[in-house]
Structures are given as C-alpha cells and as structure tokens.
C-alpha cells in the first residue's frame, strides 16, 4: 500500500472549554490546505483509528493538556502503555495498539496546548487564539523540517526536536 504523508489529528470536546483547542489547531491547518497533509478533527480516539494511522508515514496528534504550561510539540513513543478497558484512548495507547497489531508505527508527535478551563461551553481562553497560532506555527515548522533542505532542518530541530517512531 502506498502511504500518504502526514496525518494531523485534533482531539477534544468542542463544548468542554479549552479541550477544543486541539481541534481549533487542525481546523486552522485545514484552511491552509497544506500539500500532502490530511486533517482529522475528532471528539475522541477509538481503536478503529489504528486503521487510519497505518496509511500514513507521519502523524501529529494535537490535544489540550491541563498540566501543560506552554504550547509544546514532542516526539511520541508507543512503549509502556497498558491501558484497561475505557472509553478514553490516549494517542500513546493508539500507537501501542497499532504497533502490537501491525508491527510498525508511523513517526509520531504530540502537540499539546495548555488548558486552563475545561468547563461546559466553548473555550473562553483569552489567549486561545495565540496558543492555536503558536501550535500551528510549530507544526508547520516540523512538517517543513521533515521535507525540506538541511538548512531548514537545523532551524526546525532546534525548535521542536526530531521525531522518532520508538
């Protein structure tokens, strides 16, 4: 099977305050229509998602994080996940399941945006737009770094580090 290049998945509940920030990021990226980039905006991950992931070489999960202080983008590994039955599937758990069932995983990153309020309703974060813009910028730099010339790579790795599949 010929693999497509990038999959970017925004995860969150659009009516749980800052939980929606990850989805705002991918919706913003969708408007840019970057070549070779597929966008998914989802309320939550399900085991069936592994079947989408395996069609891509690189995947970026974008999620809100209550413990985070700033926008971050880091490589994601699948190891060490033992999740009991639950309706909540983390990106790591999906990767672990994919690796166990197919033996390989795409290069993966997790972009997180600091969440302050997960209360009922839309995000009222006054810095929301800035956070989303920052995450979009980091993701664009990462995609460019993985596809561009070494000159760009230097800059990109300083900013976000390089991804790894393991």
Contact residues toward other proteins (CB under 8 A) are: 15, 47-48, 50-51, 81-86, 88, 93, 96-97, 100-103, 120-122
Pick 118 or 153: Cβ nearer other proteins: 118
Q: How far is the CB of 146 from other proteins (least distance, A)?
A: 27
Pick 13 or 28: Cβ nearer other proteins: 13
Contact between residue 105 and residue 78 where contact means Cβ atoms under 8 Å apart: yes
CA-to-CA dists, residue 113 to 67, 85, 98, 125, angstroms: 10, 26, 25, 11
Pick 50 or 125: Cβ nearer other proteins: 50
**Angle at the Cα of 87 from the Cα atoms of 83 and 91, rounded to 5 degrees:** 55
CB atoms near residue 141 (< 10 Å): 19
Pick 51 or 70: Cβ nearer other proteins: 51
Q: How far is the CB of 61 from other proteins (least distance, A)?
A: 18
Q: How far is the CB of 165 from other proteins (least distance, A)?
A: 17
CA-to-CA dists, residue 82 to 74, 100, 135, angstroms: 21, 12, 29
- How many residues does the structure list for the chain? 166
Pick 48 or 126: Cβ nearer other proteins: 48
CB atoms near residue 151 (< 10 Å): 8
Q: How far is the CB of 112 from other proteins (least distance, A)?
A: 22
Q: How far is the CB of 119 from other proteins (least distance, A)?
A: 9
Contact between residue 123 and residue 16 where contact means Cβ atoms under 8 Å apart: no
């Amino acid at each position: 099977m010929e693999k497509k290049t990038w999959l970017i998945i925004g995860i969150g509940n659009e009516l749980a305050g800052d939980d929606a920030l990850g989805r705002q990021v991918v919706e913003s990226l969708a408007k840019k229509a970057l070549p070779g980039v597929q966008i998914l905006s989802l309320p939550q991950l399900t085991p069936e998602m592994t079947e989408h992931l395996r069609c891509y070489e690189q995947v970026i999960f974008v999620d809100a994080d209550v413990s985070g202080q700033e926008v971050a983008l880091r490589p994601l590994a699948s190891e060490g996940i033992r999740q009991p039955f639950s309706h909540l599937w983390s990106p790591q758990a999906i990767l672990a399941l994919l690796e166990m069932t197919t033996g390989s995983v795409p290069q993966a990153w997790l972009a997180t945006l600091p969440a302050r309020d997960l209360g009922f309703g839309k995000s009222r974060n006054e810095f929301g737009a800035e956070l989303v813009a920052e995450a979009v910028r980091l993701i664009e730099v990462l995609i460019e770094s993985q596809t561009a010339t070494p000159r760009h790579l230097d800059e990109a790795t300083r900013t976000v580090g390089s991804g790894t599949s393991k």
